[in-house]
Structures are given as structure tokens and as C-alpha cells.
Amino acid sequence: MKVKCCVCGAAREREQCDIIQPSPAQKAAIVEMGQVPAAEYIYCKPCSNLLKNKEQGAALIRGITATRLRMAGNPRAEYIAQKTYEYLIAKATKPVS
């Protein structure tokens, strides 16, 4: 059965994708951000590999954020996207204690 990647929208066979089912804590965090959580998030292998790399994943999210905010007419799209990127990089490189 073909499914669509939630990042790039590519249609792929379900077996060729990484599928993530959010935990109750993750669902609560998604709701707290004002979104409706999906039962599962489907990522094709290329997008999944990009997101697993902290630097490339953060850059991809920055680009998607900027694009969506520009499409919505937000004049601060680039600034917000850059701040999101910086936050993700800082969080990804924070030492685990």
C-alpha cells in the first residue's frame, strides 16, 4: 500500500518508510503547540536519513519553516526560521547529563 511522506509528499510503499507513532507525552506536546497529533508520522527513507542528521535535519526544518511562513505572508519568515534553526542546533548539541 502506498503512503505519502509527511515531509516531501512522495508516495512510497509503506514497507519502504520509517513510521513513527507518537507517545502520549509527544501527543500532549503537539496539542500544547496548537496542533492536532496524527496517529502516525510517515517518513520516506531519504527524508528520514536527513532528519536523523542533526545539522541537515535542522537545516531542512529551517527551510520548510521559512517557506511555509512566506507562503502565509509573514514578513519575519527568515528571522523566525533562523531562530528555529539555532534553537534546534543548540538543543541537539547540548550535553546529556
Q: Quick one: 11 and 27 in the same domain?
A: yes
Q: Quick one: 44 and 65 in the same domain?
A: no
Q: Quick one: 37 and 74 in the same domain?
A: no
Q: Quick one: 30 and 69 in the same domain?
A: no
Confidence of residue 97 (pLDDT cuts 50, 70, 90): low
Q: Residues 2-25: pLDDT tens digits?
A: 999 998 889 999 999 999 999 999
Q: Is the pTM of this model over 0.85?
A: no
Is residue 64 within 8 A of residue 41, CB to CB? The reply is no
Q: Quick one: 42 and 80 in the same domain?
A: no
Q: Quick one: 47 and 57 in the same domain?
A: no
Q: Quick one: 14 and 42 in the same domain?
A: yes
DSSP 38-70: PS-EEEEHHHHHHHHSHHHHHHHHHHHHHHHHH
Domain that holds residue 41: 2-51
Distances (CA, A) of 80 to 12, 56, 67, 72, 96: 32, 18, 11, 13, 27
Q: Residues 35-57: pLDDT tens digits?
A: 899 999 999 999 999 888 999 99
Dmax over Cα atoms in the chain, in whole Å? 42
Dihedral of CA atoms 21, 62, 5, 47 in degrees, nearest 10, equals: -90
Please count the structural domains in the chain. Answer: 2
